[in-house]
Structure 1
């Protein structure tokens, strides 16, 4: 019997905190880039490597955290990943040279994504139907503050201490998460349901997931939806400093409406759970996404970027993205109930790949003007909606393809006849 019982009030906070490690590891030390460049006697290009090595290892490990939890259990993978992250973060704080800093950033990238990926599997292991959607929405709501909060925390720490203490604060946060996980995180994947971890089996599992058209369409829709919002986030310096003519302390003009919209959308998802079908919930999300993207296109066609009109449509897009995301995620995980960890890993990898393309290719091209950004956001919205429409077209009676009303952790993967 599992002696660790999930606290219904604590579990959303814990899972959201675990998911926050990823964005906190990226954004928290942004304000310290200048001081770190000075201390290590490096340039801005070299400093960007601290992000590149982190994102690279994060991407690779995102394909492994889930299968590891399928094989060895959710709780252990999260706890030991936190220990690795703690060691790497302390190493970043004490790094004697830039090369050591890069090495420890690799360690952070290897471990930071476990909480987010395995946490999604935990939610679907333990809860079903309306309860799963509500908990996923609560986690999304709390997690939504991380991208906006992280740079503020870094700025506050930098105001009173050295940049090294930014990593010190991350280490303290990790200790808190590890202790809480140790005493309160339940094991939701018992030994009888675990699948062996080996390369051949892993490749077979990923092959089955990749061949499942419904899963891939749902995952693509979720990733592209976020891209419609991320194109603005990735262009934040150009938007705030160039288009809106604000200063470095006024980034909240962009991030607070964005995060506020995401949090409200996640709250709406939780409130609508059980009252609207999955199909109608996602449809409402797309109405908001298209409404925000269309309003942005209209306003940027009529006037120069200015606050609050430029940022208002972005918040509406964020609202729609967060409203649809919990339902899309649960529908995805239900495609492969026996290997939810692996399914969550594929979803995370696709989302990361989409964000990389949007941030590395689309954002630099679209950030030439507010109108270009609005067009890019609208185009991504159309692509995400097309994936959703295709999913509904190949899903018989889509209104009836709802979240499973009971836990299905012992069910097999999606049958071959349903994979097209």
Structure 2
């Protein structure tokens, strides 16, 4: 990754008069954007190890503790629909700064509260704020860079995105054991302050005033209607969002998959998460190196072929071999690698479906992904997590949904080749 400061140049769809400079190394840009994108999941995984301590301290029931998570996820999903549209109207920078500021204040409130009701309410507000970073950071990348460079940056962000789920529980668990549960939220407050200062000092406004959309109910409705009626959007959103759950399924079912089926001790779970993260990081690195060298649609096809191979190996290993981590983990690693190869390209294609409303496109894509994750977490995983064969078949099925969506998208383009700013479309 380059360490030279890189100027922000307008993409071919941006007015030439709007030019700003981002005086930071490329890797630091990726870290800041990745921090914005991972703030939501990071704030979930960090406080989960402190569940029992929070319940004892506040006298909360298991149902009330579950509501602290459900309220967060509900707020996150609800506001995902609006963060991007707001950034299309008001600019990227004010929406991100407001979102991170609210996250920081609500984290501090969570650390200071003495009542479970207030904790639930604050977590709902926290969820409503964190989506701003994830949604808007994607739009920022495409505002700034032409397709090849945007793919490289998106790949770098994906690398950092893969690290956060591994670090968050370790940090949260250490803080809870050595201090107490309030320290977890004080830590999130400091994280929010650091990200806010980073955005305030380093992130320029990337959306020119003459490219902003009117902030009115009529304008928003028109934008949502146009994008929501575009079959290409739904097919691309399914192609990127659903296959992710082919590996996320194993993460959600880790206690049963690793503990019951593979017979591992909790201390040994670490190796499974490491293998998954390595797959994401390697795949994202490969995706970045492919940018500008091969056609994006070939790269997407390659990603799906890797996931298909991983799925077949996973099913065959489950049927023919006794369960063992040595051959249970590699197919999942390979699957995550294939997903990381294709997702930066597909994400950029979604954003380029509506160059004038990239924030809204990012919002809707995030909402589709969140709904798919919620369905798999709440309905699918509990049904299959006690059987290795059911897990492998379900994982393959989720990948197949994404693959079929991509094939349908390609056929649709052959019949209706509408113009796009992305060369893969």
Interval containing the TM-score (normalised by the shorter chain): over 0.9
- Which consecutive unaligned segments of at least 5 residues does structure 1 have? 406-417
How far does residue 397 in structure 1 lie from its aligned partner after superposition?
A: 9.2
User: 2: distance between equivalents of 1:106 and 1:74?
Assistant: 23
Name the structure 1 match of 2:237. 219
How far does residue 96 in structure 1 lie from its aligned partner after superposition?
A: 0.9
- The answer on whether the counterparts of 1:279 and 1:398 sit within 8 Å (CA) in structure 2 is no
- The answer on whether the counterparts of 1:14 and 1:181 sit within 8 Å (CA) in structure 2 is yes
Residue 328 of structure 2 aligns to a residue in which SS?
coil
Name the structure 1 match of 2:203. 185
Residue 351 of structure 1 aligns to a residue in which SS?
helix
- The answer on whether the counterparts of 1:4 and 1:187 sit within 8 Å (CA) in structure 2 is no
1:379-394 alignment, distance < 5 Å: 379-394=397-412
- The answer on whether the counterparts of 2:348 and 2:422 sit within 8 Å (CA) in structure 1 is no
| Aligned mate of 2:73, from 55, 78, 87 | 55
Name the structure 2 match of 1:15. 33
Describe the shift of the 1:259–1:22 C-alpha distance in structure 2 as closer, same or farther (beyond 3 A). Answer: same
Name the structure 1 match of 2:22. 5
- The answer on whether the counterparts of 1:219 and 1:332 sit within 8 Å (CA) in structure 2 is yes
Name the structure 2 match of 1:232. 250
1:106-137 deviations in whole A, cap 9, x for unaligned? Answer: 11101111111000000000101210100010
Name the structure 1 match of 2:4. none
1:13-412 alignment, distance < 5 Å: 13-396=31-414, 404=422
Q: TM-score, normalised by structure 1?
A: 0.93
Q: Name the stretch that deviates more: 51-60 or 37-46.
A: 37-46
User: 2: distance between equivalents of 1:258 and 1:400?
Assistant: 37
Describe the shift of the 1:144–1:403 C-alpha distance in structure 2 as closer, same or farther (beyond 3 A). Answer: farther
- The answer on whether the counterparts of 1:277 and 1:402 sit within 8 Å (CA) in structure 2 is no
1:27-57 deviations in whole A, cap 9, x for unaligned? Answer: 1111111111211222323211111000001
- The answer on whether the counterparts of 1:295 and 1:313 sit within 8 Å (CA) in structure 2 is yes
How far does residue 366 in structure 1 lie from its aligned partner after superposition?
A: 1.3
User: 2: distance between equivalents of 1:193 and 1:157?
Assistant: 45
User: 2: distance between equivalents of 1:54 and 1:132?
Assistant: 31
User: 1: distance between equivalents of 2:408 and 2:422?
Assistant: 21
Describe the shift of the 1:190–1:399 C-alpha distance in structure 2 as closer, same or farther (beyond 3 A). Answer: closer
How far does residue 199 in structure 1 lie from its aligned partner after superposition?
A: 2.2
How far does residue 155 in structure 1 lie from its aligned partner after superposition?
A: 1.3
Name the structure 1 match of 2:12. none
User: 2: distance between equivalents of 1:97 and 1:251?
Assistant: 33
Name the structure 2 match of 1:409. none
How far does residue 400 in structure 1 lie from its aligned partner after superposition?
A: 12
Q: TM-score, normalised by structure 2?
A: 0.92
User: 2: distance between equivalents of 1:302 and 1:19?
Assistant: 40
Residue 325 of structure 2 aligns to a residue in which SS?
coil
Q: Name the stretch that deviates more: 345-354 or 233-242.
A: 233-242
- How large is the Cα RMSD of the aligned pairs? 1.9
1:245-299 deviations in whole A, cap 9, x for unaligned? Answer: 2233332122111111011111110011111101100011001111111111111
Residue 75 of structure 2 aligns to a residue in which SS?
helix
User: 2: distance between equivalents of 1:136 and 1:267?
Assistant: 10
Describe the shift of the 1:390–1:377 C-alpha distance in structure 2 as closer, same or farther (beyond 3 A). Answer: same
How far does residue 306 in structure 1 lie from its aligned partner after superposition?
A: 2.2
User: 2: distance between equivalents of 1:124 and 1:169?
Assistant: 31
